[in-house]
Amino acid sequence: MTKRHGQEDPASLANRVEAGDVRAVSRLITLLENHEPAGITALKKLRSPSRRSVVIGITGYPGAGKSTLIDQLVRAYRRRGHKVGIVAVDTSSPLTGGAILGDRIRMQDHSSDAGVFIRSMATRGQHGGLARSTVETVQALEAAGYDIILVETIGVGQAEVDIARVAQTVVVVVVPGLGDEVQAMKAGLLEVAHIAVVNKADHPGADATIRDLQECLPRVIRTVAVKGEGVEELVEAIAEHRRSADLAGKV
C-alpha cells in the first residue's frame, strides 16, 4: 500500500475497501476505532454504494442467545448467496481495554467463509450498547459490498436504544420467564424494536412471554436458535419489515 511519510494513503485504503479487500476493511476499522486521522479521511473518500446494505440490529438482555441466533441468521443468508458482515459489540476487557471476544469465538464456524466478515468491537466505556465507531464500521462494510450487516449489541437494559440510530430493522431477543423485565422494556427498548424474538421457546413460559410482547409489537417470532427452529420465519419477517419501510418511504 502506498504510504506518505510513514502513514497509509487514505485514498489507496478507500479504493481497496471498495474492492472488497478484507484486510483493508479490517485496517480501516482499526484506524476508526483508534480515531486515527487516516481512517477518518479514508472513510470520507468512500463512495456511496449503488445498492444499500440491509442493516439489522440484534439486541436484548444477556443470556437470551443473541450470538447463537446470529450464527443461524448468517447460515440462512449465506444459503441465499448474500455477503454478510457482523459487528459484535462486546464489553471491554479490564486488562487490555479491548473486546472480550466471546461473540467471535461462538461464530468461528464462519471464519473460513470468504463471504462472511466478523468484527468484535469493545465498548471502551461507551453507553447505549454500542461502540463509539459502530456507525463508521457499518459504513465501511456497506462500501465493501456486504449485502447484510448484522450488528449485535452487548446485553442491554431497557433504556439503551442506540441501535435504533444504526439499524434499519431492530430485532429484540428475549427468553421465556422474563416477566417484570419485559414490562420494563416496554418503556424503552420495545419502543424502537420492529420485531421481537422469543428464543429458547421450548422452555416453559414461552406462550405467556409471546402474549406480553404482542401487546407492543406486531411481529413476534418463536425460535429455538440452537436447533435452527424459527430462523427462516425471522428472515422473512425482516424482509417483510424492509418491504413495508421501503413502501412507506415512497409514499
Both 220 and 150 in one domain: the answer is yes
Both 140 and 241 in one domain: the answer is yes
Both 30 and 102 in one domain: the answer is no
Task: Give 176-211 pLDDT, tens digit per residue.
Answer: 987 667 766 776 778 889 999 999 999 999 999 999
Q: Is 157 helix (H, G, I), strand (E, B) or coil?
A: coil
Task: Give 77-107 pLDDT, tens digit per residue.
Answer: 999 999 999 998 865 443 444 444 554 555 6
Number of domains in the chain: 2
Q: Specify the pLDDT at position 63.
A: 83
- pLDDT category, 250, cuts 50, 70, 90? low
Both 1 and 43 in one domain: the answer is yes
- pLDDT category, 121, cuts 50, 70, 90? confident
**Nearest by Cα to 217 from 250, 248, 154, 174:** 174
Both 5 and 114 in one domain: the answer is no
Both 140 and 237 in one domain: the answer is yes
Q: Among the three residues 47, 62, 82, which one is the final residue of a domain in this structure? A: 47
Q: Are strands 3-4 and 7-8 parallel, antiparallel or unpaired?
A: antiparallel
| Beta-sheet strand order (sheet of 195-198) | 116-122, 84-90, 148-152, 54-60, 169-174, 195-198, 220-222
pTM of the prediction?
0.86
Both 53 and 30 in one domain: the answer is no
- Which distant-in-sequence residues (6+ apart) come within 8 Å of 84 by Cβ? 74, 77, 78, 115, 116, 117, 146, 147, 148, 149, 150
Instruction: Pick the more confident residue, 70 or 133.
Output: 70
- pLDDT category, 13, cuts 50, 70, 90? very high
Both 161 and 213 in one domain: the answer is yes
Beta strands in the chain (DSSP E): 3-4, 7-8, 54-60, 84-90, 116-122, 148-152, 169-174, 195-198, 220-222
Q: Specify the pLDDT at position 245.
A: 84
Cell 444459503, residue?
Answer: 79
Both 155 and 180 in one domain: the answer is yes
**Nearest by Cα to 52 from 148, 162, 116:** 148
**Structural domain that includes position 208:** 49-250
**Residues in the chain, total:** 251
Both 106 and 35 in one domain: the answer is no
Write the CATH number for 184.
3.40.50.300
- pLDDT category, 249, cuts 50, 70, 90? low
Both 221 and 125 in one domain: the answer is yes
Q: Specify the pLDDT at position 133.
A: 82
C-alpha cell at 185: 422494556
Task: Give 28-60 pLDDT, tens digit per residue.
Answer: 999 998 889 999 999 999 998 888 899 999 988
Both 125 and 237 in one domain: the answer is yes
Q: Specify the pLDDT at position 117.
A: 95
